[in-house]
């Protein structure tokens, strides 16, 4: 193993709750219920695809122009939440693990669908742990397509087979496998069962646990 590639939302920081609040505000405005369970379907999915899933849940039809407007409005609200983020919102155990990875001389990259990655990393104080950032502004194909992880490996100059991906979304685990990488699922084995290893969070997690 030469490099670790980390998804951002739901792995390093809990920004999923802000995505949820911002999508819920849109659903409220459109007059339908949007639950936290529904929100699970949007994890790791691109912004436009998320909107399409939301509209399908609400049974609402929109023109392309209306969709653009709604996605922009949601993103504005989402950015107002994440611009107030602090390093306290880094998920438990994450910083200790990142320090161990760096101390072991492994390379690190972000592999996130989010176009808001730079703002989140700056607000959370995560930039210092990363050698490269591959995000939604650099790719055209969403997970489960491997593009964002392959981009991360390329930026690091590491062969994909020497990379391990940390992901909280099923589509992300699939994307890692499609890239020829191993995957550690962060969350529940029910949804992430295809990963080589599933852990609930990074608390107490050590590099030596990567035995595959």
End-to-end CA distance of the chain: 10
**Residues found in the chain:** 212
What residue 115 binds from ligand B16, Mg ion, none (CB within 5 to 8 A, per partner kind)? ligand B16
What residue 47 binds from ligand B16, Mg ion, none (CB within 5 to 8 A, per partner kind)? ligand B16
Element (H, E) at 67: helix 64-82
Pick one of 55, 89, 116, 133: the residue that binds ligand B16 (CB under 6 A): 116
Shortest distance (Å) from residue 9 CB to ligand B16? 3
Residues near 198 by Cβ (< 8 Å), separated by ≥ 6?
184, 185, 186, 187, 188, 189, 192
Which residues belong to the active site?
7, 9
What residue 109 binds from Mg ion, ligand B16, none (CB within 5 to 8 A, per partner kind)? none
- Considering the rule CB under 6 A, would residue 146 count as an interface residue with ligand B16? no
Radius of gyration, CA atoms only, the chain: 17
- Considering the rule CB under 5 A, would residue 10 count as an interface residue with Mg ion? yes
- Considering the rule CB under 6 A, would residue 115 count as an interface residue with ligand B16? yes
Q: Residue 178, class by beta-carbon neighbours within 10 Å (0-12 exposed, 13-18 middle, 19+ buried)?
A: middle
State the Cα angle at 171 between 169 and 173, rounded to 5°.
70
CB closer to ligand B16 out of 50 and 109:
50
5-13, 54-62, 98-106, 173-181 -> range binding ligand B16 (CB under 6 A): 5-13
x/- track of binding to ligand B16 for residues 50-89 (CB under 6 A):
x------------------------x--------------
């Amino acid at each position: 193993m030469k490099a670790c590639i980390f998804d951002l939302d739901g792995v390093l920081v809990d920004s999923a709750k802000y995505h949820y609040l911002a999508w819920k505000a849109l659903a409220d405005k459109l007059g339908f219920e949007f639950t936290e369970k529904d929100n699970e379907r949007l994890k790791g999915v691109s912004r436009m695809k998320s909107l399409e899933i939301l509209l399908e849940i609400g049974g609402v039809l929109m023109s392309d122009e209306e969709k653009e407007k709604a996605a922009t409005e949601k993103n504005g609200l989402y950015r107002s939440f994440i611009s107030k983020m602090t390093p306290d919102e880094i998920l438990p155990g994450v910083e200790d693990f990142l320090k161990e990875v760096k101390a072991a001389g492994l390379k690190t990259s972000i592999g996130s669908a989010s176009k808001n990655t730079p703002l989140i990393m700056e607000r959370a104080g995560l930039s210092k742990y990363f050698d490269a950032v591959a995000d939604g502004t650099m790719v055209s194909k969403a997970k489960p397509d491997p593009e964002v992880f392959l981009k991360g490996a390329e930026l690091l100059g590491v062969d994909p087979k020497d990379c391990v991906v940390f992901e909280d979304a099923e589509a992300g685990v699939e994307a890692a496998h499609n890239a020829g990488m191993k995957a550690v699922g962060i969350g529940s084995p029910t949804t992430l069962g295809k990963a080589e290893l599933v852990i609930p969070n990074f608390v107490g997690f050590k590099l030596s646990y990567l035995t595959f």
